[in-house]
Amino acid sequence: MSTILTIVNIVLMLLFIGGLYALQKKHISFSKRVFVGLGLGIVFGLVLQFAYGVKSDILKDSIDWFNIVGKGYVKLLQMIVMPLVFISILAAFTKMKLSNNIGKISSLIIGLLVGTTAIAAAIGIASTFAFNLDGAQFQQGDAESARIEQVEQRLGDIQNMTLPAKILELLPANPFLDLTGDRATSTIAVVIFAAIIGIAYLGVKKKNPEQAELFSKIVDAIHAIIMRVVTLILRLTPYGVLAIMTRVTATSDYNAIWQLGKFVIASYAALILMFIVHLLMLAFAGLNPVTYVKKAFPVLTFAFTSRTSAGALPLNVKTQTQDLGVPEGIANFAGSFGLSIGQNGCAGTYPAMLAIMVAPIAGIDPLTPSFILTLIVVVALSSFGVAGVGGGATFAALLVLSTLNLPVAIVGLLISVEPLIDMGRTALNVSGSMTAGLLTSRATKELDTKVYNGTEQQSSVTV
């Protein structure tokens, strides 16, 4: 009987996928198909959990099959991340898009990422006070105890790494190893490696134009192939979102979420406010924030459902370049740096909220202006330092809490709602990197405002 029910669930998923494919054949816009996939996934997942229960073998077996679509899609995106970063940065040099102002572009992007993270920390602090959150109220069960033990082990590794060591971690000792994504800082290392080759190309171009021209043609050809691969993978986005969202809603522990509901609501209040800050920054730069929301919706939806900034990078870069008018070089720098530097959600809002919640336990008055200012500065600096230890909200929180000599156990106590909150954090991280790309290209007067203000681009993603 269980096998039959599993087959029924698989057939239903296939029917939903067929429905999304029919919408594509009718030339329904990419954004609308992503939204339909999101809605279907939420409803289907809730129905499955209601029908079978979270611990059901039928649900487990069904999700295993759904993961072929959901996790398979994420794996394909992760597969193309390193080739895309490498060849896109290199192509920006061969096309003379970064040769004159690479230092200014890099500085602006990093400054915006870290600066917005400081703002995110301040908003997280305000939200914690507004909702009167207290870390002493959280309960500790077996799962939480196990997580706390893991957290404390990881804390030792973080504390033993000095700032110079973190900086050295960014450099590519073995670029071929970094192209496999083996290290936490592999993406930034690949960016640096590609930039070094690009600078070398510019030198060769002055002394031996013929060899440089041949190299440029080879790079252009490889770039065209890689971008075509990206397009083919991105066409699967509505199906991937459908499967991922089904798994998330079908397997979430809603009882635990209810118990920690106040923290979840406060977190999302802070994340939404920070997203509004992104929109206000765009508005101050003379860009229509409504246009940004409409065009960024597919990539933010994917980031929300998949909880992977790295996986969202191809869609992030493509959206910036084709729909928002950001030059390719700037889009790749912003997207790549945004994977591990200045993550507004994971490294900004979250650590700040936890620090305020546990400060009273350590005998510190969280309302003290000096403590609040110190916390914001530490969060901003740590958002850069996290790149040396692997990124992510957990590591960012550990770094901030340990730097301020605050209890780290609270990181483990939130394990039950971590996936739910991480969805919003990841979407905010991606929005932060896209905002940095837009504002940087606006500041350097390289933004194509005709593309930004135009109607939704009929890019190859929607064909």
The pLDDT of residue 120 is 95
388 pLDDT more than 90: no
What pLDDT does residue 417 have? 76
| pLDDT at residue 340 is higher than 90 | no
When pLDDT is cut at 50, 70 and 90, the band that residue 319 belongs to is: very high
pLDDT over 70 percentage in the chain: 87
Measured from the Cβ of residue 249, the count of other Cβ atoms closer than 10 Å reads: 19
Say yes or no to pLDDT of 87 above 60: yes
Computed over every residue of the chain, the mean pLDDT equals: 84
Look-up of token digits 């996936």: 419
Q: Which of 167, 186, 187, 184 is nearest to 385 (CA)?
A: 167
How is residue 198 written in tokens?
A: 């690009």
Residue 343 — pLDDT band, cuts 50, 70, 90?
confident
Q: Please report the pLDDT score of residue 166 as a whole number.
A: 67
Contacts of range 283-286, beta carbons closer than 8 Å, 24 or more positions apart = 285/438, 285/439, 285/442, 285/443, 286/442
pLDDT of the residue at 393:
76
pLDDT in tens, 398-436: 778 877 888 777 776 776 677 788 889 999 999 999 999
Q: What is the mean pLDDT of residues 127-133?
A: 90
> Per-residue pLDDT for 446 more than 70?
yes
Mean pLDDT of 122-140: 81
- Kindly tell me if the per-residue pLDDT of 455 is higher than 50: yes
Sign of CA dihedral 266, 271, 272, 274: positive
**pLDDT of 150:** 59
Compare 382 and 199 and report the one with higher pLDDT: 199
Q: Of residues 278 and 74, which shows the higher confidence score?
A: 278
Q: Which range among 155-159, 256-260, 393-397, 419-423 shows the weakest confidence by mean pLDDT? A: 155-159
| Domains detected in the chain | 2-462 (1.10.3860.10)
User: Quick check: 305 pLDDT over 70?
Assistant: yes
CB atoms within 10 A of CB 75: 10
pLDDT band at 283 (very low <50, low <70, confident <90, very high): very high
Question: What's the average model confidence in pLDDT over 124-134?
Answer: 90
Find the mean pLDDT for residues 74-94.
84
Give residue 460's pLDDT band: very low, low, confident or very high (50, 70, 90): very low
Query: What's the average model confidence in pLDDT over 383-403?
Result: 67
At 463, the pLDDT band (50, 70, 90 cuts) reads very low
pLDDT attached to residue 404: 85
CB 334 within 8 A of CB 436: yes
Check residue 225 and give its pLDDT.
92
What is the distance between the alpha carbons of residues 85 and 83, in angstroms, rounded to a whole number?
Answer: 6
Look at residue 458 in the predicted model and tell me its pLDDT: 44
Which pLDDT value is given to residue 397?
81
| Global pTM value | 0.79
Query: Quick one: pLDDT band at residue 100, thresholds 50, 70, 90?
Result: low
SS3 of 254, please?
helix
Give 391's DSSP letter: -
The answer to whether 182 touches 176, Cβ cutoff 8 Å, is no
Write down the pLDDT at residue 152: 56
Q: Please, what's the b/e burial string for 92-130 (b: 16 or more CB within 10 A of its CB; e: otherwise)? A: bbbbebbbeebeebbebbbebbbebbbbbbbbbbbbbee
Query: If we measure between CA atoms, which residue out of 249, 191, 242 comes closest to residue 433?
Result: 191
pLDDT of residue 270: 96
Q: What is the pLDDT of residues 49-72, one digit of tens each?
A: 999 888 888 999 999 999 999 999
Distance CA 134, CA 18 (A): 48
User: Residue 332 corresponds to which amino acid?
Assistant: N
CB-facing half-sphere around the CA of 436: CA atoms within 13 A: 36
Q: Rounded to an integer, what distance in angstroms lies between the CA atom of residue 445 and that of residue 345?
A: 28
Which of the residue ranges 237-241, 279-283, 332-336 would you say has the lowest mean pLDDT? 332-336
Q: What is the pLDDT of residue 380?
A: 86
More reliable by pLDDT, 101 or 75: 75
Nearest to 387 by CA among 173, 12, 141, 113: 113
Q: Amino acid identity of 138?
A: F
pLDDT at 392: 66
Tell me the CA distances in angstroms from 304 to 280, 354, 419, one per residue in order: 21, 21, 10
CB environment 169-186: b (16+ within 10 A), e (fewer)? bbebeebeebbeeebbbb
The residue among 229, 228, 254 whose CA lies nearest residue 42 is: 254
pLDDT value of position 3:
86
CB neighbour list of residue 161: distance below 8 Å, 6 or more residues apart: 169, 388, 389
If phi over 0 gives left and psi between -120 and 50 gives alpha, with beta otherwise, what is residue 120?
A: alpha
Residue 47 CA, distance from chain mean position: 28
Tell me the average pLDDT across 353-357. 91
Smallest Cα–Cα separation from 442: which of 284, 309, 212, 261?
284
